Each structure stands twice: as structure tokens, then as C-alpha cells.
Structure 1
Amino acid sequence: MIGKLTGILSDKNPPEVVIDCHGVGYEVNVPMSTFYNLPALGEKVSLLTHLVVREDAQILYGFSGPAEREAFRLLIKISGVGPRTALGVLSGMSVADLAQAVTLQEAGRLVKVPGIGKKIAERLLLELKGKLGGDIGLFTVHAGDAHGDIQQALLALGYNDKEAAAALKILPADVGVSEGIKLALKALTK
């Protein structure tokens, strides 16, 4: 399996890019979030990849980071969600947004993604529950501050993702970890 490509970006035609690796051009389909962060043509690029082998084709999908690739792999395991749909989901929302929608069970956010109807959105929420989140490092409520640590503490204390997210919404942005845990526990016991 091809897990990573590093080479020169030789063509960009959304959602496909061509990466020249020592004279061999690999066609790679990427989500728009990755596409927008690509360097200029002729520049060096490195993408994590996932190879899909079908009866009639072998298709490479590329991602800028491991969280995106892991979310793609989780999505394509769901019945009724193929690689094209998974790519659409990741093009329509970030991995953190997807994880938050799953945690809060918000089908409305998923339905806004082109190609995702109500039925598929509900299936995604059901199948991804507990798979996207702190356990695989894809989602922290506010990266770079104490909220992620507070969320992990609440989950360790036995609260579910939805309860933890609701408690985090009421906390001030600059709260410390210990004070945040106290405030969150107070809110959850009301």
C-alpha cells in the first residue's frame, strides 16, 4: 500500500493533483481543505495517502495530516459511504467540526455538506459515535488552551461526550484547568 508521497506538485485540478515522484506522476484526489493548503506548482509537497483498489480502478486519496486520513478511513468503513462521499464530507467541514458534530449529535451540520442527506447524516452520527474524539486525538474543543484537558478530565470521570461539551460551553475562554474542572462539575450537578 502507498502510505505517503513526497515529490514535486506538477498539476492542480480540483479535487485532483499530480505529484511527480522522481519522474512518475501520481494522480491523487484530495479534499478541498488539503487542496487550499498546497504549495505552488513546481514546489515540493508531501501527502499522506490511502489507496482504494476497485475492480476497475486504483485510486489514491491524499491528506495533509494524519487526522484527516484517519477520519477518511473511518468514513469509508460506514455502509453507504464511499471514498467520493468521504472526500466530500472532509471538503465540506474540518475534522474537528466533524468530530464536534458527532459528539453533539448534530445531523443538521452534516446535511449542509453536498451529497449528504438526512439518512446518511444519521448513519454517520450513529457509526462514528465514540470513534471520533479524544481517544484518537482528532478533536479538542479549543486547541491550545485548557479546554481540551478539562474535557479529558470530564470523560475520565465518566461523563459522556455530549455532557462534557455542554459543560465546556459555559466556561470562560481563559479558565485554568483546575478551576475549569470545578466549574464544569458544578454545572453538571445542577
Structure 2
Amino acid sequence: MIGRLNGTLLEKQPPEILLDVAGIGYEVQMPMTCFYELPNIGEQAAVYTHFVVREDAQLLFGFNHKKERALFRELIKANGVGPKLGLAILSGMSAEQFIQCVNNEDATTLVKIPGVGKKTAERLVLEMKDRLKDFGHDLLTPYSDSTILEPMQNPTVADTPADDAIAALLALGYKPAQAQKAVKNVSQPNMSTEALIKEALKSMM
């Protein structure tokens, strides 16, 4: 199993990165709450990984800290939650926010994540309450003001930060009209793709 990668960051296309480790390029999908903390392209990055093998694909999911990965692993044990939905949940909210939702039995907030219906949210709250007892507050990521994001698959390469942001929101499960409107409403000159995604998501809460 691949548990950790340390190499040169070659590409950043939310939510996926390409990491060069000793000449081999690894494609790694990361929650946006982790993605925001990545260094610049060309710099060294280290990520803790979870390796998923399916009949049609082999996927790597990456995290900045071991306990973020541990929470992801607990999430995907929950009934009806696969790696994509686990990634979506940890993209849309920080680890701290998710723990607060569970402790407060706040299924309403979880429902705002694309792909999480009312029954799934309620089941998550019930199943995760006991599992989260072993998680301390040191689990939390530095990024704490995230908004609900969703499963990010590979967005198509776009020409501008706004196009990239729209593509990422579409990959997260938002409808084209929603994504375009949200990005347009928050767009300001010289904003990065990550900043646009972050602000667009906040505006849809």
C-alpha cells in the first residue's frame, strides 16, 4: 500500500495534483481543505495517501496530516459513503466542522453537500458519533472557514482561473448555472483559481 509520497509538485488542477516522486508522476486527489494548503508548483510537497483499488481504476487520495486521512478512512466505512463522497465531505468542510456537525447532530448542514441526501446525512451523524470519540482536537486542519464542497473529479483544463473554478465546481456536483453564477458574483481581478472556488462555495452556503 502507498501510505505517503514526498516529491515535486508538478501540477495543481483542483482537486487533483501531479506529484513527481523519483521520476514517477503520481496523480492524487485531495480534499479542497487540504488543497488550499499546498505549496506552489515546482516546490516540494509531502502527502499522506489512501490507496483505493477498483475493477476499473486505481486511485490515490491525499491528505496533509495523518489524522485527516484517519477521518477519511472512518468516513468511507460508513454505510453508503464511498471514497468520492468522503472526499466531497472533507472538501466542503474542515475536519473540525464535520466533527461539530456530528456532535451537534446537524444533518441539515451535511445535506448542502452535493450527493448527500437527508437519509445519508442522518445516517452519517448516527454512525460517526461513536467513531469520532477517539479523535482529538489536534485532528483539525489549519484551514477552518471552508464551505461545503463536493466530489471533485477531474475537471477539464481551462484557460482562465474563472474557467478552472467553474470546471472544479461542476466536478463537485454543482449545476452549470449555479457554478457560473457563483463564480461571476465573487470574481475580482487577479483572483487565483483556489480563491475563486473558496469564495464561490462560501457564497452558496
TM superposition score normalised by structure 1? 0.70
- The one-letter code sitting in structure 2 at the alignment partner of 1:125 is V
* Residues 7 and 21 in structure 1, CA contact (< 8 A), matched pair in contact too: yes
2:43 aligns with 43
Structure 2, unmatched stretches of 5+, are 143-205
Mind listing any 5+ residue stretches in structure 1 that lack a counterpart?
A: 144-190
In structure 2, distance between residues paired with 1:140 and 1:2: 21
Please list, as runs of the form range in 1=range in 2, the aligned pairs for 1:66-81 lying within 5 A after superposition.
Answer: 66-81=66-81
Conserved 8 A contact 1:8-1:21: yes
Runs ≥4 residues deviating over 4 A: 138-141
Cα shift at 1:140: 8.4
Q: Distance in 1 between matches of 2:39 and 2:125?
A: 34
Q: Partner residue of 2:65?
A: 65
Contact 1:88-1:113 within 8 A present in 2 as well: yes
Instruction: Return the alpha-carbon distance in structure 2 between the equivalents of residues 14 and 89 of structure 1.
Output: 15
Secondary structure at the residue paired with 1:132?
A: helix
Highest RCO, 1 vs 2 (Cα 8 Å, sep ≥ 6)? 2
- In the TM superposition, residue 136 of structure 1 has moved relative to its aligned partner by 2.5
Alignment of 1:28-177 (within 5 A): 28-133=28-133, 135-138=134-137
Report the residue type matching 1:41 in the other structure: I
AA aligned opposite 1:137: G
**Aligned-CA RMSD value:** 1.8
Q: Report if the CA contact (8 A) 1:8-1:20 is conserved.
A: yes
| 1:19 matches 2:22 | no
Q: Deviations over 1:95-123 (max 9, x none)?
A: 11111111111101111222211111011
Radius of gyration: which is bigger? 1
